Amino acid sequence: MTADFSLSVLDLAPVHEEQTPADAFEHSKKLIQHTDKLGYHRYWVAEHHNMKAIASSATAVLIGYLAGHSENIRVGAGGVMLPNHAPLIIAEQFGTLETMYPNRIDLGLGRAPGTDPMTIRALRRDQMSSVNDFPDNVNELLKYFSNEEAPVKAIPGQGLEVPIYLLGSSTYSAQLAAAMGLPFAFASHFAPGELFNALRLYHERFRPSKYLSEPYAMVTVNAALADTTEEAEKLATTNYLRFLSIIRGGRADIDTRPVDNMDDHWTEFEKAQVLQSLKYTFVGDQEKVRKELDAFHAEAKFNELIVSSDIYDQEKRRHSYELLANIWK
């Protein structure tokens, strides 16, 4: 593989059948320690709410736990859903994390609330005003992390310059990141449709800033690697089953143990929907995935690949990241 991009991890702290959130956190701890030793660049966790199969709701708390159990890898949010929070609170949380773990903390920001309307109300946020205020809220966060004098300060946080990344699954955040001179990450692991439009607009409209002199594009994909392609294809069914639950109106809480034949579980229409959502999913042995990722990188020309591997068996999940690291190196 052409190794002229960084390789990173996205973890949702999945809670599988007959497991608890405590089990999920233990699995995440083992995975960050494993990928840290393998040389992965960063490890991000994503904010979700009211989903019993995902344990990363208190994102900043989980980041602190994972940073405390690793040594070199950067740890951060991929991302914090800014409409759910007051910017000052996020600045204080991530200022605290940066103080505890200097030069290792990232703050990725999403514009969507990342949950359902009832949960949005429970979070005490106004959905429309918060989403529409996203650019102003990002600017407010940047000011809290700067040395700019202001009557309200983030303590800890002021002057720490915690790096901010804008996340998105459409062209909106790509254009905002370009205008603000910030790094941009596209969520093509579940929303592939606008990937190339977003990357094109980001590069075309990028304005250098004090944060970044040239564009820095990050792309998130799914991957399931194993010693054989046949085994990898079975491991990948966990992710297919999770997305099948979502398109059926569930909350990703279906039984996600891998199956031998997905055709026993979905209709042709459901199959098309799931595979379209998971278009950028790389499944196979090392050689197959290497060729596919080389071709993908040649087309997308990203600076960093962030990989989500929703694999039921945690030893096989760690092995998948190991195989990927080996072909990347």
Instruction: Determine the pLDDT at residue 246.
Output: 87
User: Is residue 125 over pLDDT 70?
Assistant: no
Distance CA 97, CA 118 (A): 30
Instruction: Determine the pLDDT at residue 3.
Output: 62
Helix 59-68, helix 21-38: angle, nearest 10: 50
249 in a domain, yes or no?
no
pLDDT band at 132, cuts 50/70/90? confident
Q: Write the pLDDT tens digit of every residue in 258-293.
A: 999 999 999 999 999 999 999 999 999 999 999 999
Distance CA 316, CA 329 (A): 20
Q: Write the pLDDT tens digit of every residue in 145-177.
A: 999 988 999 999 999 999 999 999 999 999 999
251 in a domain, yes or no?
no
Instruction: Determine the pLDDT at residue 113.
Output: 65
Instruction: Determine the pLDDT at residue 67.
Output: 98
Q: Write the pLDDT tens digit of every residue in 41-81.
A: 999 999 988 888 899 999 999 999 999 999 999 999 998 99
Our count of domains for the chain comes to 1
User: Is residue 310 over pLDDT 80?
Assistant: yes
The rounded percent of the chain whose pLDDT value lies above 70 is 94
Could you give the angle at the alpha carbon of 227 between the alpha carbons of 185 and 7, nearest 5°? 20
275 in a domain, yes or no?
no
Instruction: Determine the pLDDT at residue 131.
Output: 65
Q: What is the average pLDDT value for the chain, to the nearest integer?
A: 93
Q: Where are the beta strands (DSSP E) in the chain?
A: 6-11, 42-45, 74-81, 105-110, 164-168, 184-186, 217-225, 281-284, 304-308
106 in a domain, yes or no?
yes
Q: Which residues contact residue 176 at a Cβ distance below 8 angstroms, ignoring those fewer than 6 apart?
A: 134, 135, 138, 166
Q: Which residues contact residue 94 at a Cβ distance below 8 angstroms, ignoring those fewer than 6 apart?
A: 60, 77, 105, 107, 157, 162
Q: Identify the CATH number of the domain in which residue 209 sits.
A: 3.20.20.30
263 in a domain, yes or no?
no
pLDDT band at 313, cuts 50/70/90? very high
320 in a domain, yes or no?
yes
Distance of CA 297 to the CA centre of its chain: 18
User: Comparing 116 with 145, which gets the higher pLDDT?
Assistant: 145
pLDDT band at 249, cuts 50/70/90? confident
- Domain holding 222, by residue range, is 6-229+281-328
pLDDT band at 180, cuts 50/70/90? very high
